[in-house]
């Protein structure tokens, strides 16, 4: 089947964007609820990249996208082996770096790092505040947030998914 045989590629690309966003929302929700990012989220994001690439009339350089995703996987897998990152985070970052490639991937990583840093700072501040002022827990309605702060747990998948959602305009631009 050729791209010319598909009657309305714009509609298919809108559907891809919706599925992409839904997968990342689900990944965020799952990481908040269970501290796990399902494999289906990463596989969906990965498959959507190749389907979107196939739909584009003037497909760009696939090699630089594959290289960015592979390098991200190698580096984050090293962090996983060192115990610094979960396996779901590794897979999702790698799949999203495939979307970003060498051009938009660094922006994705910067956005992810800033969001993750802000969220981690909030949890650290809450942890310190709970140690100094034990009754502060009454002012935070989320038991989950208090538990994360008390245990020093940080669901980094939330930052990854939010960064992936914020990068939709650049990720869905024609490949370069």
Indicate the average pLDDT of the chain.
Answer: 88
| pLDDT single digits (tens) 92-118 | 999 999 999 999 999 999 999 999 999
> Burial level of 1, CB count in 10 A (0-12/13-18/19+)?
exposed
State the DSSP code for 85: S
Distance CA 164, CA 43 (A): 14
Count Cα atoms within 13 angstroms, Cβ side, for 165. Answer: 17
Distance CA 54, CA 4 (A): 11
Q: What is the mean pLDDT of residues 15-24?
A: 96
Distance CA 83, CA 14 (A): 38
In the chain, what percentage of residues exceed pLDDT 70? 91
């Amino acid at each position: 089947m050729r791209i010319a045989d598909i009657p309305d590629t714009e509609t298919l690309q809108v559907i891809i964007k919706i599925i992409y966003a839904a997968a990342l929302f689900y990944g965020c929700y799952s990481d908040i609820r269970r501290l796990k990012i399902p494999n289906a989220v990463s596989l969906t994001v990965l498959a959507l990249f190749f389907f979107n690439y196939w739909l584009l009339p003037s497909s760009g350089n696939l090699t630089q996208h594959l290289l960015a995703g592979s390098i991200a996987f190698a580096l984050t897998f090293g962090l996983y082996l060192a115990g610094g990152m979960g396996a779901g985070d590794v897979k999702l970052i790698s799949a999203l770096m495939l979307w970003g490639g060498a051009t938009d991937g660094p922006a994705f990583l910067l956005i992810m790092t800033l969001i993750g840093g802000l969220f981690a700072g909030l949890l650290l501040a809450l942890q310190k505040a709970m140690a100094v002022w034990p009754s502060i827990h009454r002012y935070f309605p989320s038991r989950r947030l208090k538990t994360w702060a008390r245990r020093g747990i940080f669901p980094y998948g939330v930052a990854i998914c939010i960064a992936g959602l914020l990068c939709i305009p650049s990720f869905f631009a024609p490949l370069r």
